[in-house]
Amino acid sequence: MEAQSTTTPPYGQRLLPRLIDERADQGWQRPWASIPRSKDLSQGFRDISYREFSNAIDRCAYWIKDNIGISTTFEPLVYFPGASLDIRYQILVMAAVKTGHIMFFVSHRNSIDAHVSLLQESAAIRIIVPTIEPPALPALLQRCSIEKVTIPELEYFLDIELTLPPLRLFGDFSKWRGKSMLMLHTSGSTGLPKVILIRHGYFETCDAFHLRP
């Protein structure tokens, strides 16, 4: 059974990276997510526990540290996955926070002009790509001065047998609520897309709905 608390959780003041680690430490049995075992959905789904999720985030944070470095300026890291749409998105967001970065997720459906505009607006200097690179990547690299970093496959992060010392997020809620956690962009339906900053406080606002009667 999931660990039960005798006190009301501090809804609306819980930082997501920290909440994930807390649930991993508490041994929550309810899965964080269930993902398809393959493209053939008849083969069923694989449950991902909070412990696996937390471990994957820490492994990704160490990977960022070793391959990109720690940022003290909230450097944006662009993720350009092509058709590789999996839970590396969620793992990267939390790992980036732990290493002082901000993940910037761009749509693989954008035009090259849109990608170039977004990279210039965000001032990003590094782009993370999967092993099977998006077809548009060569054209993008020709037009932008940006470093390419290849991310390991999902199973590298989900390997629970390979653990590292846990990384923890320090500082109270008031320190983090106004800081940017994630970068997205507008649809670009009326012109070139524009960068949108999502702050930690946005997710805490969603969490505060627990306080409604």
Collapsing DSSP to helix, strand or coil, 38 comes out as: coil
117-122: long-range contacts (C-beta < 8 A, 24 or more apart)? 117/192, 117/193, 118/185, 118/192, 118/193, 118/195, 119/78, 119/144, 119/146, 120/144, 121/194, 121/195, 122/76, 122/78, 122/183, 122/195
Q: Please say if the pLDDT value at position 1 is more than 70.
A: no
The residue with greater pLDDT, 166 or 106, is 106
Residue range 174-202: average pLDDT? 92
Collapsing DSSP to helix, strand or coil, 101 comes out as: coil
Confidence of residue 190 (pLDDT cuts 50, 70, 90): confident
Mean pLDDT of the chain: 91
pLDDT, tens digit, 9 for 90 and up, residues 23-37: 999 999 899 999 999
The residue with greater pLDDT, 85 or 146, is 146
**Per-domain residue ranges for the chain?**
16-37+45-211
Domain covering 16-37+45-211, topology: Rossmann fold (3.40.50)
The CB density around residue 54, as the number of other CB atoms within 10 Å, is 22
What pLDDT sits at residue 77?
97
What pLDDT sits at residue 83?
72
Q: Decide: 24 and 55 in contact? Cβ < 8 Å.
A: yes
Query: Residue 64 is which amino acid?
Result: I
What pLDDT sits at residue 173?
85
Q: Decide: 62 and 110 in contact? Cβ < 8 Å.
A: no
Q: What is the DSSP letter of 151?
A: P
Query: Residue 123 is which amino acid?
Result: A
Q: Please say if the pLDDT value at position 5 is more than 70.
A: no
Name the residue among 16, 38, 18 with its Cα closest to residue 155. Answer: 38
